[in-house]
Amino acid sequence: MSFLVRQISLTADGREIVRAATLPKLQLSLGRAAENDIHLPDLALEPDHARIEQVDERTIRVRAIGTLGFDLEGRTVLRAEIHPANGAELRFGGHRITVSQGEDGATILSIRRVDAVSEASEEKEETKVFSLRGLLPGKRLTAWGMALAILIGFLAIPIWSYAGRPANDTRNIYKMVGDKAWSSGPLSQAHHALEGRCETCHQKAFVSVRDSACQTCHKDVHDHAPAARIAMARAEPGLGGKLLAGVASAFGKPPEGACVDCHREHEGAGPMQPAPQAFCTDCHGTLKDRLKDTKLGNAADFGTSHPQFSALVQTVPGRHPRFSYASLDGKPMDDSGLKFPHDMHLSATGGVAKMARTMKTQYGFGDTLACKDCHKPTADGVRFLPVNMERDCQMCHSLAFETIGGTVRTLRHGRPDQVIADLRAYYRSTGPAQPIALGGMARRRPGNYAQGQIYHAYFGAMAARPSRADDAVRAVFSKGGACYDCHTVTPPGADGNANWQVLPVHQPMRYMMNGWFDHAAHRTEKCESCHAAPKSHDAKQLLLPGIDSCRTCHGGEKAKADVPSGCAMCHSYHVGDGAPWMPADRSVKRDGADRPKELDRLSPQRAPGTDREI
């Protein structure tokens, strides 16, 4: 059973156009909504107005869904049963539906639009009925009116407000004024105190902020490099770039290199947005093409075009150390003056692990030592403090040698001259009958430290002649001694020394002096994912991750990486206090030089009592 639906419309010259469609359904939906089987775009109808159902072979039923109903033979009804063989005429708003039966028994619904004009007809489409077109002025008049209102509100009134305000008006600086409309947004956190004081930075009307206005407060800001070098480093702009620069200059924009090129304000009340990557790569992307004498490699994008990291390492330890910049590609060594095998201390099976388990309750160790047991972060979590003997090592490597009335005496770490003096004083007071007890219970050492084992003979030479203090001193500073096993020791006579000497330990808090790294931002990562300490057997091995390790997460500014990273994420533009260290004299060679004075700030052991970082 099916319906034959005929849509009848008229052309401009009065000809009928019939569009027929057979719908093999037992029920048809009718209404204003487009998803109905019979769509009648008429405001007099509801979106879902009625149903036409096939009851049997001779009867159809028409019923309204809502309360508006429909007309049947001049009467408004909500429901009707019709015999198609007898024919009928239905009226839905401005449309007439004639019901008849075809030769094959199919029900024919002929739909024709009624010509009478009414609120219900198609003469008034929805867009016209609900439009305000007749109540508003024309488009052209509206456009001119809006343009005039914008000029008055955002140009004339602000100019009048600015021109009419006293030059030194400090009483009403936070009062709403007309030129406030020119502000594109709130100031950043750094300049929040200047909110409402536009003239502090914008010293001249319709002129961009000048460097002189910035330097009123930022008096100690250093240049990125000498101005002549920066000028040489910049790429020559093309014709389009020169044209844009000329237009910008005509409207008061300062030349390239101005503070506002990088420090952009009115972009939100949060931290000031970092400089975009292009600001740096305009010079550094092809730097070696213009500065032939530069030691810097081209850097256009961290993910695709960036040189390998370089670290400042100590090549010669001692009182007069030497340092050198070295690329991590060459796997450089850093001679800190320490002898320390990371693999032994992190092993899960050696004597260190066994000792850690015995002190688990007292010191919070696990079944093995972990990086955090010795390396303590700074208060802000950015870097790690140098390892301290008393805080990080002494629980295993004790320097105790005597107990007096329950008080334990220890050799003074870091003071070789004092160690020698204490040993001589000890033997002077005890005489030959009481040897020093730096082994046994007072002296703890992980691993095999029983009689005859490797960690027993800290004073082996003393055993034969315990009455001689010189033997005890020699034993401490010789192989197997308390100092020798961890430090580089020079005997008397070497380097002009009168006594035994221990080379100063250099523990820098940073190696990559031209970049910035924040450990706190990487606290979700394990130490071993970047530092190969479990496989390191030599303290000289520099356990820094190379650029490939960082690129597993970091890509360029616009890269589809886990962490898109522009230049400003790791590099500071200005040189000086508070910025990553660089030599003030740019002529200093990178292939080795005496220890720069600035490095004293990086090694607290060289400057006791200070923890200043750069």
Residue 229, classified by CB atoms within 10 Å of its CB into exposed (0-12), middle (13-18) or buried (19+), is middle
The pLDDT score that the predictor gives to residue 177 is: 65
Phi, psi of 204 (to 5 degrees): -130, 140
**DSSP state string for 457-518:** -TTHHHHH-TT-HHHHHHHHHSTTSTTTTTB-EE-TTGGG-SS-EEPPP---S-S-TTS---
The pLDDT score that the predictor gives to residue 328 is: 94
Domain 3-133 has CATH 1.10.357.10: no
pLDDT digits (tens, 9 = 90+) for 291-350: 988 988 999 999 999 999 999 999 998 888 999 999 999 999 999 999 889 999 999 988
Alpha-carbon distances, residue 152 vs 155, 161, 184, 547 (angstroms): 6, 12, 18, 56
The pLDDT score that the predictor gives to residue 229 is: 87
SS3 string, 510-549, reads CCCCCCCCCHHHHCCCCHHHCCCHHHCCCCCECCCCCHHH
The pLDDT score that the predictor gives to residue 587 is: 33
Say if CB 401 and CB 409 are below 8 A apart: yes
Tell me which amino acid residue 466 is: P
The pLDDT score that the predictor gives to residue 174 is: 46
Question: For residues 66 and 64, what is the distance between their CA atoms, to the nearest angstrom?
Answer: 6
Alpha-carbon distances, residue 89 vs 3, 19, 74, 106 (angstroms): 16, 19, 9, 17
Domain limits, CATH 2.60.200.20, in the chain: 3-133
Q: pTM of the prediction?
A: 0.61
Question: For residues 573 and 277, what is the distance between their CA atoms, to the nearest angstrom?
Answer: 12
SS3 string, 230-260, reads HHHHCCCCCHHHHHHHHHHHHCCCCCCCCHH
Instruction: Read off the DSSP letter of residue 90.
Output: E
List, for the chain, all residue ranges whose pLDDT scores fall below the cut of 70.
115-134, 165-179, 429-468, 496, 575-614
pLDDT digits (tens, 9 = 90+) for 424-466: 888 876 554 455 545 433 344 444 444 333 333 343 334 434 4
The pLDDT score that the predictor gives to residue 564 is: 92
Question: For residues 29 and 468, what is the distance between their CA atoms, to the nearest angstrom?
Answer: 115
Say if CB 2 and CB 19 are below 8 A apart: no
